[in-house]
Amino acid sequence: MAATASEGPFSRALPWLVPLALIILWQVSSSLGWLPPNILPAPTAVLQAAWVKLQDGSLVDNLGVSFARAMSGLIIGGAIGFSLGLLNGLSKQAEMLLDPTLQMIRNIPHLALIPLVIIWFGIGESARLFLVALGVFFPIYLNTLHGVRNVDPQLIEMGRIYGMNNRTLFLKVILPGALPSIFVGLRFALGVMWLTLIVAETIAANSGIGHMAMAAREFMQTDIVVLSIVIYAILGKLADSATRALERKFLAWNPAYAKV
Amino acid sequence: MSSQPTGGSRVSLKDVKKAFGSNVVLQGIDLEIPAGQFVSIVGKSGCGKSTLLRLMIGLDSVTAGVLDAPALKEQAARIVFQEPRLLPWASVKDNVAVGLGEGQSGKAADNQAAAILDEVGLKGREGLWPSQLSGGMRQRVALARALVSQPTLLALDEPLGALDALTRIDMQALLEGVWQDLGFTALMVTHDVGEAVALGDRVILIDHGQVVLDLPVNLPRPRKRGTPEFAALEGQILDKLFGDDPRAREAH
């Protein structure tokens, strides 16, 4: 089924048709005056805003700041989630000690902590890092735990029979077996990461894409607000594509991820 | 480049008993298995045949009695399960290398792996993933993994049970050929009486935790099914398995 859909130039263009049509419709509506610019500026106006912001350097600066925040939060929260997921997946005692508490905290929407986080950290960099790290922690933790738990016990018995020590068993059997699930967690985490960052930057920040959008709102610069939204969309898509590339590289053995 | 004969090692059991708690699974097992023999073990589900196999290669310990198998002390006993149990994320070659154990790599290990893959008819498929192989080929990889460390004792726990009928016949011939080339002692549990007679130098029938039949098979190899001698041996085993119940025999 997938084989027939991926052949020919027409099929390759197929996913782009709807977005392209929407943009054309949007442009035409704006040009004809159906859409007033203070509601939604024309795509050309958004492009123009992008050009202006690129030239004065503020777009690149804000983009860099947001990207650095997202990645730092992902690395901190992801590393903690991954480690705890492995620990609780490998040790029954650790799971009994920690998992119930973590499951309880998981049920609190992490954005509900914003007032408390502002009191703790002020509106500085650490507040945003904390929120992003907390947001990405849970998807990575849960899926790592699930992945480790669901490694085929027959493979583990096979490894033991062939004399693998704990380290080899972990590196050759348990970790690769858990990897597909860990990647699912990573993709969830990337979604949460951008969402948290947008909220955190919108509420309290003096730099970053979210701040750029909020500052533009005060002057009714809808073109820059829309530009910010488009940039978030592009960043999200890039993160997702990067994960897909990693999956294709590390999960090539799995027919579900192999290149068609 | 092919594998050198490894030779076999003997297994002897004297009045062996195995119990899990109060549940006695095997009792009064006396067996002398000479080096290099191919032993087929048959019996109904739950009769204790797989437990006997696990005892003989050291996966379980005996509750009472004496088990003497030099291969266990030399760590030269291996097992092939009904499922290939290959690592899906490792290539055919890397899966075979698992059988070499810790810290075995480099040129010598590569040569050993290549030789055994040649022996089981998988030359040229070293780089494939298990998901790219058929069921029969996966089981060949599992066999190569078990044999790459040159065991003198090989246990086979219904090794062909998950394969389709035509692949089974193919694999029986392969198994016999590999055993003849390498000379290890083979212990094969199967529920297929025909397969037991086709491959075994002797067929051991287990019922309710005891050896109820120990039948030598003195037919020339490769054996032809359907000859009167073959059918007579099969009949003898089925008689012992099902007694006089003709419907059960018919079903088999």
For the segment A6-25, the average pLDDT, to the nearest whole number, is: 85
Q: Do A161 and B59 touch (CB under 8 A)?
A: yes
pLDDT digits (tens, 9 = 90+) for B97-108: 999 887 666 788
Structural domain boundaries enclosing A76: 44-250
pLDDT digits (tens, 9 = 90+) for B199-238: 999 999 999 999 999 999 999 998 988 899 999 999 999 9
Which amino acid appears at position B140 of this protein?
A: R
Nearest residue on chain B to A158, alpha-carbon basis: B85
pLDDT greater than 70 at residue A259: no
How would residue B51 be classed by pLDDT, with cut points 50, 70 and 90? Answer: very high
Beta bridge partners of B210: B207
- The pLDDT > 90 percentage for chain A reads 64
Q: What value does the mean pLDDT of chain A take?
A: 90
Residue A102 confidence (pLDDT): 94
For the segment A172-189, the average pLDDT, to the nearest whole number, is: 95
pLDDT greater than 70 at residue A136: yes
pLDDT greater than 60 at residue B154: yes
A158: which residues sit within 8 A by CB, 6+ positions away? B81, B85, B98
pLDDT greater than 60 at residue B1: no
pLDDT greater than 50 at residue B24: yes
A77 HSE (CA, 13 A, CB side): 30
- The reply to whether A177 touches chain B by the CB within 8 Å rule is yes
Residue tagged 């019996």 (tokens) = B43
Residue B248 confidence (pLDDT): 61
Q: Which of A10-19, A73-82, B46-55 has the lowest mean pLDDT?
A: A10-19
CATH number of the CATH domain containing A135: 1.10.3720.10
How would residue B247 be classed by pLDDT, with cut points 50, 70 and 90? Answer: low
Residue A7 confidence (pLDDT): 63
Structure-block tokens of residue B138: 């996966």
Structure-block tokens of residue B58: 């050291």
pLDDT greater than 80 at residue A3: no
Residue B95's H or E segment, with its range, is helix B92-98
Residue A21 CB neighbour total at 10 angstroms: 10
- In 3D space, the residue among B115, B114, B164 whose CA is nearest the CA of residue B139 turns out to be B164
Nearest residue on chain B to A176, alpha-carbon basis: B89
Kindly state whether residue A10 falls inside one of the protein's structural domains: no
Q: Do A172 and B98 touch (CB under 8 A)?
A: yes
Contact assessment for residue A72 and residue A187, using Cβ atoms and an 8 Å cutoff: no
For the segment B180-193, the average pLDDT, to the nearest whole number, is: 94
Structure-block tokens of residue A146: 């699930």
Residue A1 confidence (pLDDT): 42
- The pLDDT > 90 percentage for chain B reads 75
Chain B residues inside the 8 Å CB shell of A170: none
How would residue A6 be classed by pLDDT, with cut points 50, 70 and 90? Answer: low
Long-range contacts, B220-226 (Cβ 8 Å, 24+): B221/B176, B221/B180, B222/B173, B222/B176, B223/B197, B223/B198, B225/B194, B225/B198
How would residue B32 be classed by pLDDT, with cut points 50, 70 and 90? Answer: very high
Residue B226 CB neighbour total at 10 angstroms: 7
- Measured CA to CA, the distance from residue B131 to residue A253 in angstroms comes to 7
SS3 of residue A196 by DSSP: helix
Kindly state whether residue A11 falls inside one of the protein's structural domains: no
Count the domains in chain A.
1
H-state helical runs in chain A: 2-5, 8-31, 43-55, 58-90, 92-106, 114-121, 125-149, 153-161, 166-169, 175-203, 209-218, 222-250
Domains in chain B with CATH codes:
1-76+153-252 (3.40.50.300), 84-149 (no CATH)
Contact assessment for residue B96 and residue B116, using Cβ atoms and an 8 Å cutoff: yes
- The reply to whether A164 touches chain B by the CB within 8 Å rule is yes
**ipTM for this prediction:** 0.84
Kindly state whether residue A228 falls inside one of the protein's structural domains: yes
pLDDT greater than 80 at residue A134: yes
Kindly state whether residue A31 falls inside one of the protein's structural domains: no
- The reply to whether B128 touches chain A by the CB within 8 Å rule is no
Structure-block tokens of residue B9: 């090692």
